[in-house]
Amino acid sequence: MNNENKVTLYFVRHGETQYNVERRMQGFCDSPLTEKGISQAKSLGEGLSDIHFTASYSSDSQRVLDTAKYAIGEKNIPLMIDKRLKEMNFGVLESLLESEIPNLYGNVLETLFSLDVNACAPEGESYAQLFTRTQSAIKEIIEKHASEGGNILIFSHGVTIGNYMIQITNSKEFAVHENCSVSVVSYKNGQPKVEKIADTSFRDRGNVQLNKSSLII
């Protein structure tokens, strides 16, 4: 008899950062959340407030840790850091403006956007390598919580989450994950069931609720 309970993971992309605004390649490198990014994270937390979470996990990038901090707020949700949830390593492209890359490295962005599993930036990692480390972290998280089940928050990055969704759904369609969008995947007996991909409704609903509260005050 299998005693494994359903574990539901809520994958959250971090809030808007300075490099997002400047349209720079941001993988292993980092930049701070903007005021909008902080607001997005707080709104997300409000939008998820009616869901009980037993634990949360975060990439070790500061932009993601800050997003988790603002989203969790005063809620009693343990937060663990796992560097395997980090963004894709973009190698020599890190921190470069997207607009300057073609002059420096030709069609490397087109190669990356092809989503071929072996595609990678020079000195960076491939989608296959990214999935291997992401899947390793997710597998351990599921195994850790399978006996009790429940909802778990996973704070990570746009390409990391998007690539994971592509691989587990065997799809070639990459969904653009806006800042503080949420993808939901439930797992039972090792089988994933994708319930939401790149959903912004939690963030947007929370934003409305917070604005209403500020008006009342």
pLDDT in tens, 173-192: 778 899 999 999 999 988 99
- Write the DSSP string, 42-57: HHHHHHTTTS-EEEEE
Q: Is the pLDDT of residue 2 over 60?
A: no
Of 25 and 114, more confident: 25
Buried b / exposed e across 74-107, counting CB within 10 Å, b at 16+?
eeebeeeebebbbbbbbbebbebeeeebeeebee
User: Is 54 domain-assigned?
Assistant: yes
| Residue 172 maps to a domain | yes
Percentage of the chain lying above the pLDDT 70 cut: 97
Question: What is the average pLDDT score of the chain?
Answer: 94
Average of per-residue pLDDT across 161-184? 92
Length of the chain: 217
- 110-153 confidence digits (pLDDT tens): 999 898 999 999 999 999 999 999 999 999 999 999 999 999 99
52 among known catalytic residues:
no
- What CATH code is carried by the domain that includes residue 11? 3.40.50.1240
Q: What single string gives the DSSP state of each residue in 85-128?
A: GSPP--GGGTT-BGGGHHHHHTTHHHHHHTT-TT---TTS--HH
Q: How sure is the predictor about 215, in pLDDT bands with cuts at 50, 70 and 90?
A: low
Rg (CA), the chain: 17
pLDDT level of residue 212 (50, 70, 90 thresholds): confident
- Has residue 210 been placed in a domain? yes
pLDDT at 189: 85
At 60-96, the pLDDT tens digits run 999 999 999 999 999 999 999 999 999 999 999 999 9
Residue span of the structural domain in which 78 resides? 7-216
Positive or negative torsion for Cα 48, 49, 50, 56:
positive
pTM: 0.95
CB of 81 closer than 8 Å to CB of 58: yes
Q: How many domains does the chain have?
A: 1
Alpha carbons 160 and 164: distance in angstroms, whole number: 6
Give the C-alpha separation, 11 to 161, whole Å. Answer: 7
pLDDT at residue 4, as a whole number: 73
Q: Which residues contact 200 (CB under 8 A, 6 or more apart)?
A: 178, 180, 181, 182
Residue of 14, 145, 157, 177 marked catalytic: 14
Say if residues 7 and 150 touch (Cβ distance below 8 Å): yes
Summarize pLDDT for 43-57 with one digit per residue, the tens. 999 999 999 999 999
Helices 127-145 and 158-169: crossing angle in degrees, nearest 10, is 80
Establish if 124 belongs to a structural domain: yes
In three-state form (DSSP H/G/I as H, E/B as E, the rest C), the secondary structure along 139-196 is: HHHHHHHCCCCEEEEEEECHHHHHHHHHHHHCCCCCCCCCCCCEEEEEEECCEEEEEE
Distance of alpha carbon 25 from alpha carbon 122, whole angstroms = 13
- Asked if residue 2 belongs to a domain, the reply is no
For residue 213, the model assigns a pLDDT of 73
DSSP at 24: B
Decide: 120 and 109 in contact? Cβ < 8 Å: no
In a domain, 142, yes or no: yes
* Residue 14: active-site member: yes
Residues 16, 46, 87, 125: which is the catalytic one? Answer: 87
Predicted confidence at residue 1, as pLDDT, reads: 36
